[in-house]
């Protein structure tokens, strides 16, 4: 693996910024270089939220996402806003509830996968706060970008102690949505 760009986008309150930060921390635990950036603006409360992670085996050049390899979308606003920026060979993971009936023309079924991420988060916590961590589980099972054990460790240390068990459960649930991490 060389450079890998992952973007998680959704609404404020879905935990996408925390999820991105944790993924970057996990990459560092695996000895990789990582950067994390987030949409920063007046929309930080309530509106759209976005988290970009760049992971590389070597030192990272441009620290922001330039051609997204894996785009995770957790609400329909984020879909409209970010799907045009998906790289040519990029893959879209989209929450089942917000997937539009007709995908944009440049997307075809082979590079789009739907998972019930937000629904799973609701089942686990009664709200959407762990949606980002469920999404992280999906990302890990789908793309295997970091060591799973490192990701568990980063989740355990990256969330408030009282929410540790819930978030670890959310991570496992996300991985199970894909059918577990590929060997």
Partner 1 sequence: MNRTELIQGNEACALAAVAAGCRFFGGYPITPSTGIAEQMVRLLPDAGGVFVQMEDEIASMAAVIGASLAGSKAMTATSGPGFSLMQEHIGYAVMAEVPCVIVNVMRGGPSTGRPTAPSQGDVMQARWGTHGDHPAVVLAPSSVGEVYELTVRAFNLAERFRTPVIVLYDEIIGHTRESVVLPGSVDVVDRIKPDVEPEQFWPKAPAANGVPPMPAFGDGYRFHVTGLTHDQRGFPTEDSALTGALMTRLNNKVDDHVDEIVQVERFMLDDADVAIFAYGIVGRSAREAVQRARTMGIKAGMIRPLTLWPFPDVQVAAVAEQVDAMIVAEMNLGQLIGEVQRASGGRTEIVGHLRADGEPITPSQLLTELTDRNEAAR
Interaction site with partner 1 (CB under 8 A): 21, 24-25, 27-28, 32-38, 40-42, 60-64, 66-67
Distance between CA atoms of 165 and 52, rounded to whole angstroms? 25
Min separation Cβ 129 and partner 1, Å: 21
Q: For partner 1, which is the closer residue by CB, 119 or 153?
A: 153
Residue 69 CA, distance from chain mean position: 12
Q: For partner 1, which is the closer residue by CB, 88 or 101?
A: 88
Min separation Cβ 175 and partner 1, Å: 23
Please spell the DSSP secondary structure of 32-60, one letter per residue.
-EEEEEE--SGGGSSSEEEEEEEEESS--
Q: For partner 1, which is the closer residue by CB, 7 or 21?
A: 21
Q: For partner 1, which is the closer residue by CB, 37 or 148?
A: 37
Distance between CA atoms of 109 and 111, rounded to whole angstroms? 6
Longest dimension (CA), the chain: 44
Min separation Cβ 52 and partner 1, Å: 9
């Amino acid at each position: 693996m060389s450079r890998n760009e992952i973007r998680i986008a959704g609404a404020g309150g879905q935990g996408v910024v925390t999820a991105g930060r944790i993924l970057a921390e996990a990459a560092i635990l695996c000895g990789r270089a990582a950067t994390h950036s987030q949409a920063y603006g007046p929309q930080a409360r309530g509106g759209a939220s976005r988290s970009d992670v760049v992971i590389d085996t070597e030192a990272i050049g441009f620290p922001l996402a330039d051609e997204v390899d894996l785009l995770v979308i957790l609400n329909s606003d984020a879909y409209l806003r970010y799907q045009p920026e998906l790289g040519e060979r990029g893959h879209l993971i989209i929450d089942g509830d917000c997937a539009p009936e007709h995908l944009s023309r440049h997307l075809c079924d082979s590079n789009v996968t739907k998972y019930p991420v937000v629904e799973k988060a609701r089942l686990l916590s009664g709200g959407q706060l762990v949606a980002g961590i469920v999404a992280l589980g999906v990302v890990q099972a789908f793309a295997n970008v970091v060591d799973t054990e490192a990701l568990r460790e980063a989740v355990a240390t990256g969330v408030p102690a009282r929410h540790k068990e819930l978030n670890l459960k959310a991570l496992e649930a996300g991985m199970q949505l894909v059918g577990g991490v590929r060997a």
